[in-house]
Amino acid sequence: MRQLSESEFDSIVYSVSGDMPEVLNISIYGFGVEVTFESNSRKTDWNSFLDFDKVTGNYTYTSPYLGASLPWQFGDRISRRIKDMLND
């Protein structure tokens, strides 16, 4: 079974983050991503951490705001790209 390389993962994360203006900063730790989002008011920012599986593309995340949609939007975009790459 194919596994995603860290460089492939990095490329996907940077691409997705560039497509989302709410993303202010990302830090990648293996297959984990700490992402800083800008608040809707644009007055503050907040962090979320997403952990991806390099074999399945599935992920989990933590966020200080349980109802926030940005972490799962970000995670779903990355997950879809990982799954597409693994299925090629």
Per-residue pLDDT tens over the stretch 5-37: 999 999 999 999 999 999 999 999 999 999 999
Is 26 a domain residue? yes
Q: At 17, which CATH number?
A: 3.30.310.80
What pLDDT band is residue 40 in, cutting at 50, 70 and 90?
confident
CB atoms within 10 A of CB 81: 19
Is 15 a domain residue? yes
Is 1 a domain residue? no
Beta bridge pairs of residue 59: 52
Q: Domain range spanning residue 38?
A: 6-87
- What is the number of structural domains in the chain? 1
Is 47 a domain residue? yes
Half-sphere exposure of 45 (CA within 13 A, CB side): 13
The dihedral of CA 3, 76, 81, 18: what is its sign? Answer: negative
Task: Indicate the pTM of the whole model.
Answer: 0.94
CB atoms within 10 A of CB 16: 22
